[in-house]
Structure 1
Amino acid sequence: MSKTIVFKFGGASVKDAKSIENLFNILFNRLRNRTLIVISAMGKTTNGLEEILRLKLNGDLTSSNSAKIKDFHLGICREIFPPESMIFSIIENLFMQMDRDLDKPLTQENYDAYYDQIVSYGELLSSRILQEYLCFKGIFCIWQDAREIISTNSNYRFVEVDWDKTKNLCLKHLGSKLEQYPVVTQGFIGADPKGKTTTLGREGSDFTAAILAFCLNAQSVTIWKDVDGVRNADPKRFPDTVKFEELDYREAAELAFYGASVIHPKTIKPLANLSIPLYVKSFLSPEAVGTKICQVSEPMHIPCTVVKDNQILVSFRVTDFTFIAESHIHRVYEVLKKLKLKVNMLQVSAISISIVIDMEMFALDQLISTLQNDFSVKYNDALQLITVKNQNADLVEALLKGKEALLEQVTRSTFQFVHKP
């Protein structure tokens, strides 16, 4: 029996009618037995749905806000489907469901659970449109609700996967389907034990592909992006970048952890555990080689630069003339875990703890209010964190030139600093 191949397409690959037609051409030339297609929300839909939540929370939401997203999807469909296609009623029904969900009260306390219910509509819409289009063009395929196959806990927006249950559900719902036809499903979403929609974290569709590949013991995963592979820096920010033909799982995982946007941080581990190769290819140049992420014997020495925007530097200073002890660090991390915040950089001095975190709605205010009785708290926002892996002195000097580093840190192989851009 042939093994499953997993293709994952990001939002940029389905941002408009021409992009969807291009995606069809990619699949038409590559589809064979047991192909699983994971799709993200179209274009900037997730950003638009997040803006709807922000407006609702502030009491500024109007029907025109969701109508813009609806018109965007309908506009694409009018270009690629005949007027009698059933896709138009499918989209109408999904937006009716979303509007009913938006009628429910939203508060700061239920924001995470509410977020998962609303933002998941992006993937539900894109996957239905893609499945209908493939069928319309003569590639019969099956739509699969990811919430039926990916089981998670109820830690909304930052869920953990129930791997055993998910594997059983994949075999139950996908095994026989994949023997007959390609299957289209959604990235980013799952369901908790009560059947309530959950999400895997921002940009989590890559992780979905890895989860499904692991559970099905797939032959390979290919992530189709608007870049030609994994490079040692973002070519949109830096000139003369180097593309990797091959990259070791560990190196890729580290780059993802530091913020390289080409791969979601959790994607690598399940694939590495089963030695499933991950290919990063361009949907703009589908015949190009791309990058293969796999087990590589030779260590990588090329310097890699990763930039993360919208960072916050928070410093906690003891106020009673004691020195920082393990109990202080434990207290800070206890609150960070409760608020679902990941530390991107940590530095401890004799009397203070400094951390760099992503900007998250409500998180900074909650962090300060919870710890202000234990520490004197100060912060700087709208910062940029730059990480250099396999650093060298010349590159570090060039990156620091003209910038005021608010915090910097060096290890044997990595240099990090945060500054105000």
Structure 2
Amino acid sequence: MAKTVIYKFGGASVKDADSVRNLAEILRNRLRKNLIIVVSAMGKTTNSLESILALKLEGKDYYENSAILKDYHLRLCRELFPRDHAIFPKLENLFVQLENDLEKVLTPQNYDEFYDRIVSFGELVSTRIVAEFLCLQGLIVLWQDAREVIYTNSDFRFAKIDWTKTRKSCQEKWKPLLENFPILTQGFIGSDPRGRTTTLGREGSDFTAAILATCLDAGSVTIWKDVPGVLNADPKLFLNTKKFDELSYREAAEMTYFGASVIHPKTIKPLANASIPLFVKSFLDPEATGTIIHELAVPHQVPTIVLKKDQVLVSFKVTDFTFIEEKHIHRVYEQLQKLKLRVNMLQLSAISISIVIDTQLFKLDELIAMLRDEFEIRYNEGLELLTILHQRVEEIPPMLEGYEALLEQASRNTFQAVRRKI
């Protein structure tokens, strides 16, 4: 039997009616049995749902935003379907469900669980629309709920996979279906032991593709993007970018660790462990070669630039005139782990620990509250973290022109700076 193949389409590939039509054309000559199509929320739907949650949390009127989001999906469907198509009552039911969920009580204490229940709605809607449109085009796919096979713990917003249970469910529930039909499902979402919706972290649909590939012993994963492949910098931010024709798993993992947005950070490890190749291709030019990430690639020395925005620099200074010791570092990391905060950069001095983290609602206040009795804490928000892999010394100063560097550090292969616009 042919090995399963996984395709993942992100939000930009289904952002409007023309994009959905383009997706159908990509699949027209590629659709077959043993194919799983993972689809993200449409366009900026996840951002819109996060904005709705922020308004609700502040006690403000979010109904207008909700109505705009509903209208966006309905307008898209009116361009794709006849007026009497079954997609319209299905959408109506989904939006009623969203409105009912939004009426429930939201507090800082239940925010993460509430977030997962609401934000997962984007994937559920998009996959319904895409599945119905493909079937309308004569491209038959089975819509399946990812939450019925991807099992996680209850770490809402950053759920960890129960690999044993997930593999068993994929093999038992989906493998028999794949022998006859391709499956279309959601990225980003799973379910905890109590059946509650969980999410795998922002942009987690890539990780979903890797999970399914690993659990179904797939032959390959292809991520369809709006770029020609993996580039050495974001073309929206930097000029003269270069495409990698191939990368090793290790190089790709290093890039995602430092924040390269082309692939979700957790995607590489399971694929590397199972020796499953990952292709990154353009949905704007589907016949182009793209980039292959696999075991055989020759290491590169091309400078690679990664820029993470919305960063916070937090410094913890000891107050009893002692020097920083291992116990101080352990104490800070203990609280970071409780809050599910990842450190993007760490620097130690004789009397302080400085970390760089992503901006996350509530998290900074909670971290300060946990540690204010032990440290003098200062922080700066609205920063950028610049990382250059395989840096060349002469290329660094131009990257800092017009910026104040609050923190810098360099190793043989990596340069990092926390910067803000002057």
Interval containing the TM-score (normalised by the shorter chain) = over 0.9
1:55 to 2:55 alignment: yes
Per the alignment, residue 286 of structure 1 pairs with 286
Per the alignment, residue 125 of structure 1 pairs with 125
Aligned-pair Cα RMSD in Å? 0.8
Distance 1:297 1:38, change over 3 A: closer
Distance 1:264 1:399, change over 3 A: same
Per the alignment, residue 248 of structure 1 pairs with 248
Aligned residues: 421
1:296 to 2:296 alignment: yes
> TM-score w.r.t. structure 1 length?
0.99
Per the alignment, residue 109 of structure 1 pairs with 109
Q: Residue 343 of structure 1 aligns to a residue in which SS?
A: coil
In structure 2, the gaps of 5 or more residues are none
> TM-score w.r.t. structure 2 length?
0.99
Per the alignment, residue 400 of structure 1 pairs with 400
Q: Residue 242 of structure 1 aligns to a residue in which SS?
A: coil
Q: What amino acid maps onto 1:394 in structure 2?
A: E
Could you tell me how far apart the structure 2 residues matched to 1:398 and 1:100 are? 52
Could you tell me how far apart the structure 1 residues matched to 2:25 and 2:297 are? 35
1:146 to 2:150 alignment: no
Q: Residue 116 of structure 2 aligns to a residue in which SS?
A: helix
Q: Residue 255 of structure 1 aligns to a residue in which SS?
A: helix
Maintained 8 Å contact 2:247/2:299: no
Aligned counterparts, 1:343-354, within 5 A: 343-354=343-354
Aligned counterparts, 1:35-184, within 5 A: 35-184=35-184
Residue by residue, what CA displacement relative to the aligned partner does 1:164-183 show, whole Å, maximum 9, x if unpaired? 10001111221111111110
Per the alignment, residue 33 of structure 2 pairs with 33
Could you tell me how far apart the structure 2 residues matched to 1:42 and 1:263 are? 18
Per the alignment, residue 221 of structure 1 pairs with 221
Per the alignment, residue 2 of structure 1 pairs with 2
Could you tell me how far apart the structure 1 residues matched to 2:136 and 2:372 are? 59
Offset of 1:297 from its aligned partner? 4.8
Q: What amino acid maps onto 1:240 in structure 2?
A: N
**Larger deviation: 381-390 or 65-74?**
65-74
Residue by residue, what CA displacement relative to the aligned partner does 1:120-173 show, whole Å, maximum 9, x if unpaired? 000000001011111111011100000001000001001100001000111122
Q: What amino acid maps onto 1:81 in structure 2?
A: F
Per the alignment, residue 323 of structure 1 pairs with 323
Question: What percentage of aligned pairs have identical amino acids?
Answer: 61
Could you tell me how far apart the structure 2 residues matched to 1:340 and 1:62 are? 28
Could you tell me how far apart the structure 2 residues matched to 1:61 and 1:50 are? 14
Could you tell me how far apart the structure 1 residues matched to 2:81 and 2:400 are? 52
Offset of 1:400 from its aligned partner? 2.5
Per the alignment, residue 194 of structure 1 pairs with 194
Maintained 8 Å contact 2:246/2:297: no
**Larger deviation: 366-375 or 294-303?**
294-303
Could you tell me how far apart the structure 2 residues matched to 1:289 and 1:179 are? 28
Q: Residue 32 of structure 1 aligns to a residue in which SS?
A: coil
Per the alignment, residue 370 of structure 1 pairs with 370
Which 4+ stretches in 1 moved above 6 angstroms? Answer: none
Per the alignment, residue 359 of structure 2 pairs with 359
Offset of 1:298 from its aligned partner? 2.3
Offset of 1:63 from its aligned partner? 2.4
Could you tell me how far apart the structure 1 residues matched to 2:62 and 2:343 are? 36
Distance 1:297 1:243, change over 3 A: closer
Could you tell me how far apart the structure 1 residues matched to 2:265 and 2:38 are? 17
Could you tell me how far apart the structure 1 residues matched to 2:4 and 2:317 are? 53
Could you tell me how far apart the structure 1 residues matched to 2:278 and 2:264 are? 12
In structure 1, the gaps of 5 or more residues are none
Distance 1:297 1:224, change over 3 A: closer
